Chains A and B, each alone.
Chain A
Amino acid sequence: MKYGLEIVVVVIIIAFAAIFLIQNAAIQADPGGDEEAWGGADGAAVDYIEEQGYEPWVNPFWEPPGGEIESLLFALQAAIGAFFIGYVFGLWRGAETTSS
């Protein structure tokens, strides 16, 4: 099976995307849902702890000012990683093509 693994990966990702769409439709259709849909699990833990009356004893000295800046920095993190992955695989592929 030359591409067996690739097929499995694609099928499972499509399955998860379908589950996401179905569930999203259910969430959007529920007008009583006052909670923010698709929030982060890390944030959910923070909310739960704060509900217990806990106050963090130290705050981050810098927070991204706004959601756009935050997504910029997350995208930058992914871009740095993707650059190295592409560079190394390209290097290997090129070396293999040249030597054979």
Chain B
Amino acid sequence: MHIMEGFLPSPWWQIWVVLSAPFVIMGFYALRRMVRENREALPLLAVAGAFVFVLSSLKLPSVTGSCSHPTGTGLGSVLFGPFIASVLALIVLVYQALFLAHGGISTLGANIFSMGIAGPVVAYAIFIAGKKVGINEIVTIFFAAACANIVTYVVTSFQLALAFPAEVGGFMASFMTFGAIFAITQIPLAIIEGLVIALVFKYIVQLKPEILIRIGVITQERAERLREGWA
């Protein structure tokens, strides 16, 4: 999903910076409030951030014969909400832009929008909806994380298609081309990412359900039900 340095012409890179900035600023406020009010949730925040680090560094081969990477933003988004997840994504994207020339500073706004905003918002919405309907949290979190991954790459295709509409067929033709490069490669990786994050969520419920209850991710009653299921 990384749009490389210099690969978004004006005005597109500015537009994505303007769209992303308020969200990230909200993220910093949410983060500051969370750190002040829930100090015992800090290790969990570290785990969520660390997952974005690990997963976005792994380039996995996919069925299309090319490699791409998971995003890892689903976990942070489900646990702490999409605003804080956007800050976690920002940290990783800056690391990769500065040290790896993967992504870029001029394209940071666009890359945050796809990986740090669009993906996490969808993951969060799926998790909240699943909780309302009463589906098992492990199943919902699988779909939330997998969809966060896919949506990130669909949004990247969308961003590139807007900036580079095809001469024949315009935006839609270009969107299909970029979609073929990104989104299809991503489907198997999204499934694996969803499973890994569901597994980690299971271990958090087993080890530290009280933190999840405290930050409002699951209720006491649901935590006990889930733990009984694995006993």
**Residue on A nearest B229 in the bound complex, by CB:** A1
The interface on chain B, measured as residues whose beta carbon lies within 8 A of the other chain's beta carbons, has a size of: 66
Interface size of A by CB at 8 A reads: 54
Cβ contacts under 8 Å, A75 to chain B? 57
Distance, CA A8 to CA B142, complexed state (A) = 12
Q: Name A's interface SS.
A: helix
Q: Are B66 and A58 in contact (CB under 8 A)?
A: no
| B134 within 8 Å of A (CB atoms) | no
B133 at the interface (CB under 8 A from A): no
A64 interfacial by beta-carbon distance below 8 Å: yes
The reply to whether A40 and B59 form a contact with Cβ atoms under 8 Å apart is yes
B199 and A81 form a contact (CB under 8 A): no
Task: For B129, list chain A residues within 8 Å (CB).
Answer: none
- Do B182 and A81 touch across chains, with their CB atoms under 8 A apart? no
Contact B207 A92 (CB under 8 A): yes
Residues of A within 8 A of B (CB): 1-2, 5-6, 8-9, 12-13, 16, 19-20, 23-24, 27, 37-42, 44-46, 48-49, 52, 54, 56-60, 62-64, 70, 73-75, 77-78, 80-85, 87-89, 91-93, 96
